[in-house]
Every structure is written in C-alpha cells, then in structure tokens.
C-alpha cells in the first residue's frame, strides 16, 4: 500500500464567545475558547463606546489555567497593537489575528476607557478535519 497523505477539509471554529469592555473600563473580561486555536477572529457590531483615537492590545494564554501575557507580533518582535479603532455608533470592527497560534484565552485592552459597554465577539479558527 502506498504512502497516505493527510488532507485538510475547510476550517473548524469555536463557538462565538463574548468579550466585553464595560463602560468606564479599559480591560475586558477574559474569553476562554475551550481549546487552543491557530487564529483568533475579533468582531464588534457597534463601536459606540470606543473613545476617539483608541487602539487595542491583546493579552493571551495558551491554556485555561495559563497566565495572560501581552501578545507580540511574531515577525516584528513588538507589542501587537491595532490601528486606531472606529468610534462611532453603528461602526463595526472585524479583524483576524494571525499571530495567535495556540491561544485559548484572550483579553482585550483599550488605550482609553470605554464610554459605554463595548461587546466584542471572539472566535477561534483553525484547519478543519484531517482525513
């Protein structure tokens, strides 16, 4: 019998997990995706509580009981920081973090205090079924 080669079929993802930065705060609650993922997708449907000129950094851990640490860019060796976030009612935000390989827990930190609750949704994404 010949050598078998693993093939990937699509993508697998976690359930959508809430990660809210409460009004008056800069740090969100911690979102646990249940297991490590290769990529992290972050989405917010309404950025109304984000002050103008605000950026975002992430603190991550690779296990449920792991200590949260700042996420650095793999290629740049610098703290991974977003561009200035949208800050208007009805403005949306979506990004995929590709430097998050093996991350299970995530926490969002804004550079300015939220003026209203900012509800982010986090999804872990990785390769689908190997067969």
pLDDT attached to residue 58: 93
Listed range (4-8, 16-20, 58-62, 98-102) with the worst mean pLDDT = 4-8
Confidence (pTM): 0.84
Residue 17 has what pLDDT?
94
Tell me how far apart the alpha carbons of residues 40 and 124 are, in angstroms, rounded to a whole number.
5
pLDDT at 18: 95
| Residue at 117 is within a domain | yes
Burial of 28 (0-12, 13-18, 19+ CB in 10 A): buried
For residue 1, tell me if it sits in a domain. Answer: no
Q: What is the pLDDT of residue 49?
A: 94
Structure token digits, residue 33: 């995706």
| Residue 22 maps to a domain | yes
User: Is 131 among the domain residues?
Assistant: no
**Residues 58-67: pLDDT tens digits?**
999 999 999 9
pLDDT, tens digit (0-9, with 9 covering 90-100), for 74-128: 766 777 788 888 887 778 999 988 888 889 999 999 999 999 999 999 999 987 6
> Do 77 and 20 touch, CB atoms closer than 8 A?
no
Count structural domains, the chain: 1
Q: What share of the chain is helix, strand, coil (3-state, %, to 5)?
A: 0, 45, 55
For residue 99, the domain's CATH number is 2.60.120.260
Domain range holding 41? 14-126
Question: Would residue 9 count as lying in a domain?
Answer: no
Residue 29 lies in a domain: yes
Q: Tell me whether residue 41 is in a domain.
A: yes
């Amino acid at each position: 019998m010949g050598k078998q080669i693993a093939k990937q079929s699509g993508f697998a993802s976690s359930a959508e997990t809430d990660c809210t930065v409460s009004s008056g705060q800069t740090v969100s609650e911690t979102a646990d995706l249940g297991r490590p993922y290769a990529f992290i997708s972050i989405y917010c449907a309404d950025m109304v509580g984000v002050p103008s000129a605000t950026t975002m950094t992430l603190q991550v851990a690779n296990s449920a009981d792991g200590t949260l640490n700042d996420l650095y860019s793999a290629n740049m060796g610098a703290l991974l920081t977003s561009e200035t976030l949208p800050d208007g009612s009805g403005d949306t935000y979506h990004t995929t973090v590709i430097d998050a390989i093996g991350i299970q827990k995530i926490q969002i930190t804004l550079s300015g205090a939220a003026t209203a609750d900012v509800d982010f949704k986090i999804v872990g994404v990785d390769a689908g079924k190997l067969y």
